[in-house]
Chain A
Amino acid sequence: MECRRKKENQKSNSTFPDEVLERILGMLKSRKDKSTVSLVCKEWFNAERWSRRSVFIGNCYSVSPEILTRRFPNIRSVTLKGKPRFSDFNLVPANWGADIHSWLVVFAEKYPWLEELRLKRMTVTDESLEFLALKFPNFKALSLLSCDGFSTDGLASIATNCKNLTELDIQENGIEDKSGNWLSCFPDSFTSLEVLNFANLHNDVNFDALEKLVSRCKSLKTLKVNKSVTLEQLQRLIVHVPQLGELGTGSFSQELTSQQCSDLESALKNCKNLHTLSGLWVATAQYLPVLYSACTNLTFLNFSYAPLDSDGLTKLLVHCPKLQRLWVVDTVEDKGLEAVGSHCPLLEELRVFPADPFDEGIVHGVTESGFIAVSQGCPRLHYVLYFCRQMTNAAVATVVQNCPDFTHFRLCIMHPGQLDYLTQESMDEAFGAVVKTCTKLQRLAVSGYLTDLTFEYIGKYAKNLETLSVAFAGSSDWGMRCVLDGCPKLRKLEVRDCPFGNGALLSGLGKYESMRSLWMSDCNLTMNGVRLLAQEMPRLNVEVIKEESYETHQAKKVYVYRSVAGPRRDAPPFVLTL
């Protein structure tokens, strides 16, 4: 290896020695920039190759571990995504794949100095976590988001064996939470932790072990505890780590004496660097005031599991003048969103989740009124995820007129095929307004009753669109054709329950190799149409998920993605690789 590099150096015509060029290119931060410079010439390709320390892989089947390790020999940090996003919604069967173990085996040989692993929608077993803990002596950071397959036994292996661990971030996984004793597996000599997030585990934790751990890790800057931690226990933790920047409070519910209340408020007040707050799983309004003095510098409130009412939210927001990101549940109602508009002029991102998506009889939640109120008061808003039960074209047009800089616009009207509830018209003009007005739009999720007109608008105006999610929409193949023809930067298209057929699918033949993936479920595709696509595009992986309840000629779940690794080698019987 060293010898080969010397030879290359001798042949180089560059005025820079390779070492200098590598140092320069190693300073690039954006992975898009890194990819671009590697195309300049062979010298730059090699310099970027050797200087690359972190890699992002958006689909674990688009490249193999062997190809990755040949291309980038010096990686220290890997970010890897697995299953299609619709696995989050139970549309991908269990045991579909995306197992991390085959990657770890290759990494153990080629990247023994691996330090960071960030996984999303991957399948991770306890055996894999134990392997990870034992084979990578410099391992520092593990982040698992929406993964499944492991239990707290795997966390115990990480805690026991990763002597240099700085980050353990476990979020929204399908984890088997056997017990809280994994925390006591951290050795007494272990002091390096900076990030600890177990907010989504359910079992009682070994609080004594947690308190000892927190008290000896002087660099801890993120601590997110789970529901089982009481307010009194939270106070005991916080006094050890006043330097915290991110805090997840757990349930935030317990009977407190006035002295305990005062102690908690004092401990929170001492956290001068707090910028992110989450938790409040069972918010008790009477104790919200203890938070007020800690809110001065908050930029991110994640109350996406906190059933606050509008009054509780309003009183809290008065104390959050610097808020930029806010995630709430629709129990805050429109009145709470009016408070957001009144008190959060710097807001950039808003997510509103439903407290009960199936409770159709109750009139609650947020409406177009709250949406407009936020847009009037928050001109910098550029990311929205909004679940509601009713919406109008006029309201959406008003929102994007007030906030034309949206890059991410995700609107979910929770009843499929819902009309504009005032005019009883389709919602086409709403999304037409979005794509006409928001020229920077990168991600769009549409809902409500939509005809092909929406897709004509998207194809005509959404020139920066990268990700589109469509459900229960469209009238004919024409809709999908408009999107494929008109969106030059499209990378991900997710379609479910739409009347798009083989003609629409095949109209994208010239498009799919420049896209990361296409998902189509419960559309009008047939096996013949999908096979034709596979024949015409041999470098695409075309897969059909077969389930027994469908007729054999139908292709009910189709996943298409580009891959340099070829067809999957680990496909289960229900995945047909064409």
Chain B
Amino acid sequence: MSKDDNSSSLDSSSSDLQLSLSLTLSPYATTSSPSSISHSCSAALATAASQVVGWPPLGAYRMNIYNSQAKSPATEVFNSTVDNKRASNSTGVRKTADGGSDSSNIIFKEKGNLRSSLFVKVKMDGIPIGRKVDLGAHGSYETLAQTLEDMFDESATVLTHKVGSNGEDHGTEVGADGHSKLLHGSSDLVLTYEDKEGDWMLVGDVPWWMFLNSVRRLRIMRTPEANGLAPRLKEKNRRSKCKLI
């Protein structure tokens, strides 16, 4: 099974922080013509559109249609999806993610209540307010990392504004190869998750569909802490993989 040397991770922010930013930047704005600063805030909010829980206000049934339409295989494709799942054990991250996506979708269709949410909580060390991300809206680690990366940019701005410059990187870009730099270890943050058994794992070590079936919540750790945990995490990974196989 393929394994990244190191998983990068991202910050999260909440609409409260965004609103707080808005109030801080223009607390007395009452005119009908917002300043350029407000516009900047508006742009930040716009960037967050697809990450806000429950926005836009579309019913859960329709949202589930969107998720299933994006990935939904026909019944006769099920077998080939199983093949994909098996094949994914010996292929790279991208292929794994693709196979996992189809498989997880089938699993949810077969087992899940259609209204059950695929949202999980995301917390970043040092930020008291948590956030939620809809894993069902993603088909791979790449898009999840990108989403969290976008949140990271905003939260970094907020952090800087609130606590003064801490030397933290503000902007990051997806690398030329199409992979998120943060997912592949060019950040001082690490994305981890708690699985069904209560163990904290590094994101990216198992196929996407397996991740979807076991993830309870996400946590973005700072690298020093993660480094301190890394040996135990790796040991847990090894044991976990044995069990699964």
A residues lining the B interface (CB < 8 Å): 86-91, 94, 146, 148-149, 172-177, 200, 202, 204, 305, 353-354, 356-358, 360, 387, 412, 414-419, 424-426, 428-429, 445, 449, 451-453, 469, 471-472, 475-476, 496-499, 522, 549-551
Contact = CB atoms under 8 A, between A and B. Distances in A.
A370 B216 CA distance: 43
A468 B220 CA distance: 37
A99 to B, nearest CB: 15
B110 to A, nearest CB: 9
Interface stretch (B60-68, B95-103, B173-181, B192-200): B60-68
Given A426-B32, A453-B32, A354 B58 contact: yes
A400 B34 CA distance: 24
A353 B123 CA distance: 32
B61 A418 contact: no
Contacts of B22: 417, 499
B183 to A, nearest CB: 20
Given A356-B66, A449-B34, A418 B42 contact: yes
B161 interface: no
Contacts of B59: 88-89, 146, 172
B82 interface: no
Chain B interface category by residue count: 35 or more
B121 interface: yes
Contacts of B167: none
B231 interface: no
Q: What are the 9 closest A-B residue pairs judged by CB atoms, nearest first?
A: A174-B115, A549-B130, A89-B54, A417-B45, A415-B46, A172-B61, A358-B50, A88-B59, A417-B42
Among B41, B48, B53, B55, max chain A CB count under 10 A is at B55
Contacts of A354: 56, 58
Contacts of B16: 497, 522
Nearest to A494: B57
B79 interface: no
A453 B29 CA distance: 10
Interface in B111-155: 112-117, 119, 121, 123, 128-131, 137
A377 to B, nearest CB: 26
A414 B58 CA distance: 11
B65 A305 contact: yes
Contacts, number: 148
B137 A358 contact: yes
B23 interface: yes
Given A415-B45, A425-B34, A497-B19, A353 B58 contact: yes
Interface in B57-102: 57-63, 65-66, 75
A323 B116 CA distance: 36
Nearest to A282: B69
Contacts of B117: 90, 94
A263 B42 CA distance: 55
A416 B130 contact: no
Given A451-B34, A497-B19, A418 B46 contact: yes
A173 B59 CA distance: 10
A202 B109 contact: yes
Given A91-B54, A148-B113, A549-B130, A416 B48 contact: yes
Contact of A174 (B48, B66, B113): B113
A342 B121 CA distance: 48
Given A89-B60, A174-B114, A357-B58, A549 B52 contact: no
A476 B19 CA distance: 11
Contact of A200 (B52, B56, B61): B61
Contacts of B130: 549-550
Given A88-B60, A90-B53, A146-B60, 15 more contacts: A90-B119, A91-B53, A146-B59, A173-B115, A176-B112, A177-B114, A354-B58, A416-B49, A416-B55, A417-B22, A417-B46, A419-B42, A453-B31, A549-B129, A551-B129
Contact of A357 (B23, B56, B123): B56
A89 B55 contact: yes
B234 interface: no
A451 B41 contact: no
A90 B60 contact: yes
B4 to A, nearest CB: 26
Contacts of B33: 425-426
A353 B112 CA distance: 25
Contacts of A87: 60
B31 A451 contact: yes
A471 B55 contact: yes
Nearest to A479: B30
A499 B22 CA distance: 10
B30 A451 contact: yes
B62 A174 contact: no
B70 to A, nearest CB: 8
B138 to A, nearest CB: 10
B53 A475 contact: no
A110 B15 CA distance: 48
Contact of B41 (A357, A414, A417): A417
A173 B113 CA distance: 9
A424 B109 CA distance: 43
B39 interface: yes
Nearest to A428: B32
A451 B34 CA distance: 9
B6 interface: no
B208 to A, nearest CB: 18
A83 to B, nearest CB: 11
B61 A173 contact: yes
B54 A496 contact: yes
